[in-house]
Chain A
Amino acid sequence: MTESAHEIAGLLASGPLPGLLLTLAAYELGLWAKQHLRSHPLADPVLVATASILAVLALTNLPWEAYMRGAGLLEVFLGPATVALAVPLHANLRHLKGAAPAILTSVCAGAATAAASAVALAWALGAPEVVLRSIAPKSTTMPIALGIAGEIGGEASLTAGLVFVTGLVGSLLSGPVLNLLGVTDWRARGLATGTATHGIGTARILGESTLGGAFSALALALSGWATAVALPLVARLL
């Protein structure tokens, strides 16, 4: 009896079902937490889902590779989702007209701040060079960051982790920080969120304001493009 149960478990773990099931269930739990603990800043669906999946993996000894067989399927949708960001951007087209100088100035200043301050701080605190090269593109969207890391000699897997933590921490902080600074204009809030926290912050602000989401998507694209062009050039000079 137990033997066949083990067989069934092994059979299931060799397919994509457990990883997919676990990810969606954990995300539902995160949505539930967000709905019922609305006031708590840590009740973020991505944070709750990630933490509970890590806990389940640790408790059940489900190998990481077995989890990724299913969860990896979701990453396929990141491509079309990124393309889809053009739709809210277009819907808010009339808000973009005349705002181009403000958008370009703020996003380029933000992108330069993101890369320069991260590298300078990590360097001052004694991080090894591979970390410096991996942390530089941390505020850009995942595929751009990985491309830049490869270009300037960073470690791709390390960059992926740093990009994720930046997006998660930034998406939790952006609302309170912008409130504190008195930035109430959803356009400015979107630009700051997209520049500092890429897709994770954009996905979050989209749930609060379409206008903020559109400007966040725009900032994500512009800062990613600017960083992808500038960082390899700067790295070559250093």
Chain B
Amino acid sequence: MIRSFLFLLAFQGAGEVLHAAMHIPIPGPLIGMALLFSTLCLGLLEADLLQPAAGGLLRHMPVLFVPLGVGIVSHARLLLDCWLPVSVALLCSTLATLAVTGLIAGRALGRATEAPEAPGFAVPAEQS
């Protein structure tokens, strides 16, 4: 658990360093994700080593967004002032984005039947 968490933090740290040192306009964690992906692809690190922390973090990832949602109240007034344009824009734009991406991807990937689930990594079902 500790070791796998350490690996994730190390890759995030490497990403943050690259972000700051090379003025890449991409946040550190996303650079860290790309670095970890490359490392796994090159076979320099076993995915199983990351499983303990990665599995738990990904399974419970939604809870990490809750404080951000509560944070909305701190600027509720700005949003309330122009709620109509904002809600129409958010809703229609999100629908359009889903449709454009989904339809183009579905067509371009070919009408493949449901691709099989990959073994090796699975997010276990929530246990209560």
Contacts and interface: CB of A to CB of B under 8 A. Distances in A.
| Binding partners A and B | yes
Interface of A: 19, 23-24, 26-27, 31-32, 35, 45-46, 49-50, 53-54, 57, 64, 67-68, 71-72, 74-75, 77-95, 99, 101-103, 105-107, 109-111, 113-114, 117-119, 121-122, 124-128, 131, 135, 138-139, 141-144, 147-148, 151, 155, 157-158, 160-162, 164-170, 173-174, 177-178, 181-189, 191-193, 195-197, 199-200, 202-204, 206-207, 209-211, 213-214, 217, 219, 221, 224-225, 228-229, 232
B47 interface: yes
Nearest to B123: A206
Contacts, number: 357
Question: Interface majority SS on A: helix, strand, loop or mixed?
Answer: helix
B65 A200 contact: yes
Interface residues of B, number: 82
Interface string B85-99: 110111111111111
Nearest to A101: B108
Given A164-B69, A188-B105, A210 B34 contact: no
B64 A102 contact: no
A57 B93 contact: no
Interface of B: 5, 8-9, 11-12, 15, 25-30, 32-34, 36-37, 40-41, 47, 50-51, 53-54, 57-59, 61-75, 78-79, 82, 84-86, 88-106, 108-109, 111-112, 114-118, 120-123, 126, 128
